[in-house]
Amino acid sequence: MARTREFDTDAVIDEAVGVFWRKGYAATSVQDLVEATGIGRGSLYAAFGSKEGLYEAALTRYAERSSAELIARMESAAPVHEVLRDVLLHLVDATVADPERRGCLITNTVTERLPGDPVAARVAGGALDRNAMALTALLRGARARGELPPDADVTAMADFVMTTIQGLRVQGKAGADRRRLVAVVDLALSVLFIHDRSSL
């Protein structure tokens, strides 16, 4: 008869998120994961198959949570430039509040694991696609309300915001202070809403 699993799988995944986020995939050893999660190698392999399997589970957990948080911040009745400013400044504040400056696990994964890791590409790419789709929907709604010109290319605008987010993540991880990151946010918004600078 199979033995009952004696650990909380969700808790193990959460601990693994922290390890991979802090150290990256390559620098994380199975022993690091054993020590962080408190489960033995045999249990880890039985539950997840391999280090790669636990990494996929951890990356998926992080991707789901980070996308859900971003999308939730966009569910606001405020004018779109205020919503985007809130989204970007929240990201900046979270970055500078992290003493380890870990950045974003999705961004870290893209720069470390792609293009050679198809699993990482699927999970990270899926998260980025969800975020871009949510931004496009937000901007499309703003266009319909007259907050953007009727000919505004909301897909390109969403991609611009996504690129700004990734740049902020990397600059923040590299140590840029809040003043510099906020200046980037202000400039990005002024470009997006150049037709209505007074609203900024």
- CA 14/CA 10 separation, integer angstroms: 6
> How far is it, in rounded angstroms, from Cα 44 to Cα 38?
10
How many beta carbons lie within 10 A of that of residue 28, not counting itself? 20
Nearest alpha carbon to residue 161 among 105, 60, 86: 86
Question: Does residue 30 lie in a domain region?
Answer: yes
Token digits of residue 167: 């740049």
Residue 1 lies in a domain: no
200 assigned to some structural domain: no
Query: Is residue 18 situated within a structural domain?
Result: yes
CATH of the domain at 132: 1.10.357.10
In a domain, 4, yes or no: no
pLDDT per position in the chain (200 positions), as tens? 345 457 789 999 999 999 999 999 999 999 999 999 999 999 999 999 999 999 999 999 999 999 999 999 999 889 999 999 999 999 999 999 999 999 999 999 999 999 999 999 999 999 999 999 999 999 999 999 999 999 999 999 999 999 999 999 999 999 999 999 999 999 999 999 875 544 43
| Number of domains observed in the structure of the chain | 1
- Domain of residue 116: give its range: 9-195
Residue 121 lies in a domain: yes
pTM of the model: 0.89
The answer to the question of residue 3 being in a domain is no
